[in-house]
């Protein structure tokens, strides 16, 4: 069997479709939105990063780096799984901080948000006998995988459609355990879910609610606790899942909820039980970041001001963006090959780094950039972005606002 040939054919199909992914090797400049990019030949060049998930610039915040430096005394790693020597006082303290942040009884740390979703939804769907999971059509891959692996019955409701969710719940005649799973902010379109409506429908039909807030924690609501908190729905949502790797600026994921539900996931979740726990250095950094974000709105205020400015500037030059209420700015190109060429020109000629996003992350024909701003971006950075996009849009004859029929969902 020619395995090498089969592998080459599979990779060749990606290249032919313009979907083969090339990673940018970057060295970020602390305290700025700039980075040095290293090319394959070893040369470096400066660029402004407009696609980072470090939404608030917390990765290099002085309080965060100071906490990391102090925690280095405990070593680089935790030494084991949480059950076998990997539970430190820092892990426990961070879980208590996260539970308090979301007004929940308990929290549980994971090595990533992806693993948190996968593990928690697998446990809920399998440990609750004959469970039915109602999943938003646009849910993240990690949620879909967790639900699928659970073996639960799955009902998919139309994206952000509370009426369709209700019709599916009504049609489920038997008194089976039910979980309604959705996100508060969907990262590729930047849209915000009608959390209150969905939670209300779930509650009236005696279903548990599971809300992924990875693109909202740190960013919205009192103390930056997310959309659920902004809407005053902490008591209406059973499990809030979040990440430490985006606005918090560290890494890892978590769930928060009742002590009973969290204990269920802790006791049954293979993705938690068999994984080495987060490094104490990372845990200390995350706790310092969360504490700062609970106490100070400065980063959130600066971010929203920059988001509004960039949106207005892109609208003025006719670059097509999806209308959203969130901090995410999807810029639609609609073609994978031209999307990658546009990204190359922006980097090579304007020092602007954005990452092409294509299928399967988004539907075919809706290839895009997802521009993310931060409090670290300056007026000069913004001017370079707008100038670069205007140039590339003209040179590649890309569609202007109103010219591209956008179908954002598969």
The answer to whether 246 is a known catalytic residue is yes
The beta strand positions in 111-149, using DSSP E, are 132-136
Only one residue has tokens 């090498």, namely 4
Q: Read off φ and ψ for residue 392, nearest 5 degrees.
A: -65, -40
Tell me how crowded residue 1 is: count the other CB atoms within 10 A of its CB: 5
Q: Which of 246, 266, 327, 377 is catalytic?
A: 246
- DSSP H helical ranges for 151-297: 162-171, 195-204, 227-230, 259-268, 270-273, 280-295
DSSP at 399: P
- Cα of 139 vs its chain's centroid, Å: 11
Tell me how crowded residue 80 is: count the other CB atoms within 10 A of its CB: 12
Count CA within 13 A, CB hemisphere, residue 279. 15
Q: Contact, 310 vs 120, CB < 8 A?
A: no
The beta strand positions in 140-207, using DSSP E, are 153-157, 178-183
Distance separating alpha carbons of residues 143 and 192, to the nearest angstrom: 17
Which residues lie below 8 Å from residue 142, measured CB to CB, with a gap of 6+?
Answer: 113, 114, 115, 116, 117, 118
Determine how β-strand 352-353 pairs with β-strand 25-28: unpaired
DSSP at 361: T
Compute the chain's Rg from CA coordinates: 22
Q: Read off φ and ψ for residue 153, nearest 5 degrees.
A: -70, 135
Where b means 16+ CB within 10 Å and e means fewer, 240-272 reads: bbbbbbbbbbbbbbbbbbeeebbebbbebbebb
Which residues are marked as active site?
Answer: 246
């Amino acid at each position: 069997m020619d395995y090498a040939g089969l592998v080459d054919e599979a990779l060749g199909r990606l290249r032919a479709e313009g979907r083969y992914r090339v990673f940018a090797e970057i060295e970020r400049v602390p305290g700025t939105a700039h980075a040095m990019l290293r090319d394959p030949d070893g040369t470096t060049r400066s660029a402004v990063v407009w696609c980072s998930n470090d939404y608030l610039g917390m990765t290099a915040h002085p309080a965060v780096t100071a906490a990391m430096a102090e925690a280095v005394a405990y070593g680089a790693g935790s030494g084991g799984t949480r059950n076998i020597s990997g539970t430190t006082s820092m892990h426990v303290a961070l879980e208590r901080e996260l539970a308090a942040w979301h007004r929940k009884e308990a929290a549980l740390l994971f090595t990533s948000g992806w693993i948190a979703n996968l593990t928690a939804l697998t446990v809920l769907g399998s440990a609750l006998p004959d469970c039915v999971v109602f999943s938003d059509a646009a849910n993240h891959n990690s949620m879909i995988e967790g639900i699928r692996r659970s073996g639960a019955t799955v009902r998919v409701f139309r994206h952000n459609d509370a009426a369709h969710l209700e019709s599916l719940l009504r049609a489920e005649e038997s008194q089976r355990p039910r979980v309604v799973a959705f996100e508060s902010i969907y990262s590729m379109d930047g849209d915000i879910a009608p959390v209150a409506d969905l939670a209300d429908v779930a509650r009236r039909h005696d279903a548990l609610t599971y809300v992924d807030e990875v693109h909202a924690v740190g960013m919205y609501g009192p103390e930056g606790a997310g959309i659920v908190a902004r809407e005053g729905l902490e008591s209406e949502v059973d499990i809030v899942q979040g990440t430490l790797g985006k606005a918090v600026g560290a890494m890892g994921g978590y769930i928060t909820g009742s002590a009973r539900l969290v204990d269920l996931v802790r006791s049954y979740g293979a993705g938690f039980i068999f994984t080495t726990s987060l490094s104490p250095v990372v845990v200390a950094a995350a706790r310092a970041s969360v504490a700062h974000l609970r106490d100070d709105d400065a980063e959130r205020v600066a971010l929203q001001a920059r988001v509004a400015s960039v949106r207005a500037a892109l609208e003025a030059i006719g670059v097509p963006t999806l209308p959203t209420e969130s901090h995410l700015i999807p810029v639609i190109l609609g073609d994978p090959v031209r999307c990658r060429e546009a990204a190359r020109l922006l980097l090579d000629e304007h020092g602007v780094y954005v990452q092409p996003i294509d299928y399967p992350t988004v539907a075919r024909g809706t290839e895009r950039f997802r521009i993310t701003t931060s409090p670290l971006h300056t007026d000069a950075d913004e001017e370079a972005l707008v100038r670069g996009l205007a140039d590339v849009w003209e040179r590649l004859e890309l569609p202007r606002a109103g010219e591209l029929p956008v179908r954002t969902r598969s």
